Structure 1
């Protein structure tokens, strides 16, 4: 139980849209989502892609930094939209 209280907070930031069409779920650049408390507001396709990254980071693993963004990022799988999300890890004490 104590371990769960100390696991890091994960915030997802929408930092870019590369597709030619707007997000079908209504997300816009600048949107932020607390993965634990606001995951239900996140597009299900983006949440599905975020899940393995979040779990790896939450339990002490590492994911490679993007060579283009020099930070931890992933994108949604919708080719018309291509939302790019940055992953922020906030360590709790």
Structure 2
């Protein structure tokens, strides 16, 4: 079984402050090749979601049918979408 390709795209921002790591809406990251470019706090939140998706699990979908998670920094609250490809 091959691992699924996972990308994360910054799609929205809810907090009043800019990202401390410099991420901007529209930034897209490949989980396997861009790990060093992602904020460690984002990676901490993203990893369980990605692990579940890669190995056949399902996650709740948003109103648009996508999978989203937020940065844990309450002053920033960047919203990321996860996309999975076989």
Shorter-normalised TM range: over 0.9
Matched, 1:55 2:51: yes
Deviation at 1:70, TM superposition (A): 3.2
Structure 1: any 5+ residue segments left out of the alignment? none
In the alignment, what sits opposite 2:33? 37
Deviation at 1:7, TM superposition (A): 1.1
TM-score by length of structure 2 reads 0.96
How large is the RMSD of aligned CA atoms in angstroms? 0.9
Question: What CA distance in whole angstroms lies between the structure 2 residues aligned with 1:52 and 1:10?
Answer: 13
TM-score by length of structure 1 reads 0.89
Structure 2: any 5+ residue segments left out of the alignment? none
The one of 76, 81, 85 equivalent to 1:86 is 81
For residue 10 of structure 1, give the secondary structure of its aligned residue in structure 2: strand
